[in-house]
Amino acid sequence: MDYFAQQLINGIVLGSIYGLIAIGYTMVYGIVGMINFAHGDIFMIGGFIALISFLILVSIGLTAIPLILLIVLLVSMAITALYGWTVERIAYRPLRQSFRLAPMLSAIGMSFVLINYSQIAQGARVKPVPPIITGGYSLFEHDGFVVRLSNVQVIVVITTVVLLAIFTWLVSRTRLGRDMRACEQDQTMAALLGVDVDRTISMTFVIGAALAAVAGMMYLLYYGLVDFFMGFVAGIKAFTAAVLGGIGSLPGAMLGGLLIGLIETLWSAYFSIEYKDVAAFSILIVVLIFLPTGLLGRPEVEKV
Amino acid sequence: MTATTPDLVQASRLPGVAFIFKKALISALVALLLFSLMIGIRTEAGPTGQLIYWTRSGDLAAMVVTVFGGSILVELLRQWWGPVGTVRIVPPNVQSALALARRAIAPLLLIFTFLVPVIFYDQRYILDLGILVLTYVMLGWGLNVVVGLAGLLDLGYVAFYAVGAYSYALLSTNFGLSFWVCLPLAGILAAFWGVLLGFPVLRLRGDYLAIVTLAFGEIIRLVIINWQSLTGGPNGVSGIPRPSFFGIPLTPGDDGLAAKLGIEFSPTHRIVFLFYVILALALLTNWVTIRLRRLPIGRAWEALREDEVACRALGINTTTTKLTAFATGAMFGGFAGAFFATRQGFISPESFTFQESALVLAIVVLGGMGSQLGVALAALTMIGGFELFRGFDQYRMLVFGVAMVLLMIWRPRGLIGHRAPTVFLRHSQAISSELAGEGRG
């Protein structure tokens, strides 16, 4: 029971990270109708930028941890968002009118570019950082097993919740959110009614990338390392989360992320850690067969 | 009059220059922000395990200047070339010459390929490269059935390659079966896995299908890595038997092929033999594909690629159509995998990563999705290009990614090929009413 409670906590934390990445997939799929294959690698770039800005801040003598974290968060969000914008501008926008598979193939190419760019720029070795946030609480103890909740876990969950609140407000209350929802329903009609479709799509990528940057930073804080290949597997899992929650649905992406995080953690805890990725990928296949619209998704009408 | 014309040209060019300059400046600024931390600063684990960093302002400046210059160059090229989609009219005599060249290229290429081991007998490197290129030609032709003909985007093709390779490796090392017995078995096993993958993804389309096939490919690779008792895990399988000339081994001993033919033994014999084996396998793939394309099933694949809903409305069984496409493509992947295992003598999961799938897919896309000749030329270009970049190992996948993006922007239909359906109505016939009455309309 205590072991289970501990795994539950770990799963929720991991799930928050997946959920943040999954939102990027689901938003882009909802509006442009393509799988942004390079999104996982945007998450990796976010992790790298968080790492580098953290190193600089520490080396110039800043000691106040909350201030450092805030600056790192803002810097990595800003620069990663610019990466998202650039990727869309270079690789996807020219392909709006192209054939069906073109954006997907272009995205695969972009994913290779980002992976190898980081490998060349920062080297192939894993970059470890010492634990930045230490300490935690012992929740309860039973039969000598202590259930712990570390400060990092608290910060990850709180940041996720706060960002989700801001994000939900953005989509449901602001002009930009209204434009995004309009483009999701009908791009041509939205354009006719004066919505700048290109700008809205760009903003979608920017927001998705900023959230992925937060996920990258949380990953760095939680696991204490980044490497150039971490975006690939994390990306597929986050996509699985988006599909599980119902692609196009924002609460669905978060729910799917939490579920995938929990399933992965519990699978590693009770079955085999070697096959945890196999479990996540199998879920993707199973969900698409039996529940193609996901948990909270709307069924897609097939039009000729 | 003559004096005003240059002025007019100048006047219309001037805002262009300002525009180009402004655009390049913005690009350079974006590049500066993008690269500031990733390139301007390099991190590495120091001697004590602590991360250290140092700045690389020179590299950063070089990158920003490159982007600035590149942006101006691209903009100038764009003005010179006209908007994307500009149709250049080729003079008729050049057109006919091109058509002739296009007809002649396939037979010439085939003859040349047959002669490669004769011409380059002493150059082991060229022969090895030839075998590699032909392996990818075969993989490309196999995947072409799935992607090019049936229009199903398969990102996990390497899984079938792996199934074929491991089938041969395990059957031969554990049960001593020969290559020629295992080759069909590897194909059958891979086709079986193809159907197994095909069943769940029948209802999926486009992007979803791509991701599921990708997940499938990763699952196969992860199982190979983790099922150590069967596959040897990350260490792979070694000591895979080399192929024999239909039972006669290609060894220096008394019962070897060289001794039986009464010629002096040379290790090159085996390379030449392997070259012709993969050439035969590739040509088999090509021949089967061309034949299948003319059969009802091939027509159904092409119809499926063009429009799935219309296909179903016309009573085509999309289930069997998709499954046969997967099975056929997978079977050829399995053959190629078995060949790969016997050529290498050693296989490990390292050889079956997503990168390989993407490479084969890129070959098919570059070749124009559906064109057999295009795929062959694309494989030659791609593998040849990789060989040219051998010294810059780090950069070649970067260049590969950039090339894929640029290809999609400029030539989404591929550099050489075409993907038009093989049958279509050439012209509508005007017939008299009595013929229409007889039902000939």
All residues of chain A having their beta carbon less than 8 Å from the beta carbon of residue B156 are none
All residues of chain B having their beta carbon less than 8 Å from the beta carbon of residue A232 are 354
All residues of chain A having their beta carbon less than 8 Å from the beta carbon of residue B412 are 95, 98-99, 102
pLDDT confidence of residue A292: 77
**In 3D, which of B75, B65, B72, B74 has the Cα closest to residue B28?**
B65
- Whether B364 and B413 have beta carbons less than 8 Å apart is answered as no
Residues B337 and B199 reside in one and the same domain: yes
Q: How confident is the model at residue B5 (pLDDT cuts 50, 70, 90)?
A: very low
- Whether B319 and B198 have beta carbons less than 8 Å apart is answered as no
Residue with more model confidence, A188 or B2: A188
pLDDT confidence of residue B89: 64
- Asked if B53 and A52 come within 8 Å (Cβ–Cβ), the reply is yes
- Closest Cα in chain A, distance from residue B300 (Å): 18
All residues of chain B having their beta carbon less than 8 Å from the beta carbon of residue A274 are 222, 225-226
pLDDT confidence of residue B382: 87
pLDDT confidence of residue B86: 54
- Whether A265 and A242 have beta carbons less than 8 Å apart is answered as no
Neighbouring C-beta atoms of residue A184, cutoff 10 Å:
18
- Closest Cα in chain B, distance from residue A57 (Å): 12
Residues B41 and B136 reside in one and the same domain: no
Distance of CA B300 to the CA centre of its chain: 23
Whether A237 maps to a domain, the answer reads no
pLDDT confidence of residue B10: 45
- Whether B127 and B343 have beta carbons less than 8 Å apart is answered as no
Residues B70 and B141 reside in one and the same domain: no
Q: How confident is the model at residue B431 (pLDDT cuts 50, 70, 90)?
A: very low
All residues of chain B having their beta carbon less than 8 Å from the beta carbon of residue A55 are 41, 43, 51, 53
Q: What is the mean pLDDT of chain B?
A: 82
Establish, for the pair of chains A and B, how many residue pairs have beta carbons separated by less than 8 Å: 176
Q: Which of the listed ranges A269-278, B5-14, B47-56, B186-195 does the model predict with the highest average pLDDT?
A: B186-195
pLDDT confidence of residue A110: 94
Neighbouring C-beta atoms of residue A144, cutoff 10 Å:
6
Residues B76 and B159 reside in one and the same domain: no
Residues B156 and B222 reside in one and the same domain: yes
Nearest CA in chain A to B355: A112
- pLDDT tens-digit map of A155-175: 999 999 999 899 889 988 999
Query: Could you give the number of structural domains in chain A?
Result: 1
Return the structure tokens found at B291: 């034949």
Q: For residues B49 and B329, what is the distance between their CA atoms, to the nearest angstrom?
A: 48
Whether B399 maps to a domain, the answer reads yes
- Asked if B405 and A289 come within 8 Å (Cβ–Cβ), the reply is no
SS3 B265: coil
- pLDDT tens-digit map of B302-325: 888 888 888 889 898 888 899 999
Whether residue B27 is predicted with pLDDT greater than 80 in this model: the reply is yes
Whether B91 maps to a domain, the answer reads no
Whether A9 maps to a domain, the answer reads no
Whether A34 maps to a domain, the answer reads yes
Whether residue B2 is predicted with pLDDT greater than 50 in this model: the reply is no
Q: How confident is the model at residue B11 (pLDDT cuts 50, 70, 90)?
A: very low
Whether residue A228 is predicted with pLDDT greater than 60 in this model: the reply is yes
- pLDDT tens-digit map of B59-75: 899 999 999 999 888 88
Whether residue A302 is predicted with pLDDT greater than 90 in this model: the reply is no
pLDDT confidence of residue B167: 92
Return the structure tokens found at B12: 């219309």
All residues of chain A having their beta carbon less than 8 Å from the beta carbon of residue B33 are 79, 82
Whether B166 maps to a domain, the answer reads yes
Whether residue A196 is predicted with pLDDT greater than 70 in this model: the reply is yes
Whether B6 maps to a domain, the answer reads no
pLDDT confidence of residue B3: 44
pLDDT confidence of residue B386: 83
- pLDDT tens-digit map of B321-371: 999 999 999 999 999 999 999 988 889 888 898 888 989 998 888 887 778
Residues B46 and B134 reside in one and the same domain: no
- Whether A146 and A5 have beta carbons less than 8 Å apart is answered as no
Whether residue A245 is predicted with pLDDT greater than 60 in this model: the reply is yes
Whether A255 maps to a domain, the answer reads no
Nearest CA in chain A to B200: A289
Residue of B405, B409, B413 to mutate when probing chain A, most A C-beta within 10 A: B405
- pLDDT tens-digit map of B366-413: 887 778 888 898 899 888 888 887 777 778 888 889 988 988 888 777
Q: For residues B359 and B361, what is the distance between their CA atoms, to the nearest angstrom?
A: 5
Residue A201's domain comprises: 18-229
Residues B65 and B120 reside in one and the same domain: no
- Asked if A86 and B403 come within 8 Å (Cβ–Cβ), the reply is no
Whether A187 maps to a domain, the answer reads yes
All residues of chain B having their beta carbon less than 8 Å from the beta carbon of residue A282 are 215, 219
Scanning the structure block, which residue is given the tokens 């124009």? B368
Q: For residues A56 and B306, what is the distance between their CA atoms, to the nearest angstrom?
A: 54
Whether B436 maps to a domain, the answer reads no
Q: For residues B368 and A101, what is the distance between their CA atoms, to the nearest angstrom?
A: 13
Nearest CA in chain A to B307: A304
Query: Could you give the number of structural domains in chain B?
Result: 2
Q: For residues A254 and A18, what is the distance between their CA atoms, to the nearest angstrom?
A: 8
- Asked if A113 and B42 come within 8 Å (Cβ–Cβ), the reply is no
- Asked if A48 and B38 come within 8 Å (Cβ–Cβ), the reply is yes
Residues B135 and B31 reside in one and the same domain: no
Whether A250 maps to a domain, the answer reads no
Residues B77 and B156 reside in one and the same domain: no
Residues B155 and B33 reside in one and the same domain: no
pLDDT confidence of residue A162: 93
Return the structure tokens found at A226: 């980044």
Whether A271 maps to a domain, the answer reads no
Picking from A13-17, A84-88, B19-23, B262-266, which range would have the lowest pLDDT averaged per residue?
B262-266
Residue B240's domain comprises: 116-410
Residue with more model confidence, A106 or A148: A106
Q: How confident is the model at residue B424 (pLDDT cuts 50, 70, 90)?
A: low
Residue of B404, B410, B415 to mutate when probing chain A, most A C-beta within 10 A: B404
Residue of B209, B211, B213 to mutate when probing chain A, most A C-beta within 10 A: B211
Whether A58 maps to a domain, the answer reads yes
Residue of A32, A35, A49, A52 to mutate when probing chain B, most B C-beta within 10 A: A52
Nearest CA in chain A to B60: A121
Whether B261 maps to a domain, the answer reads yes
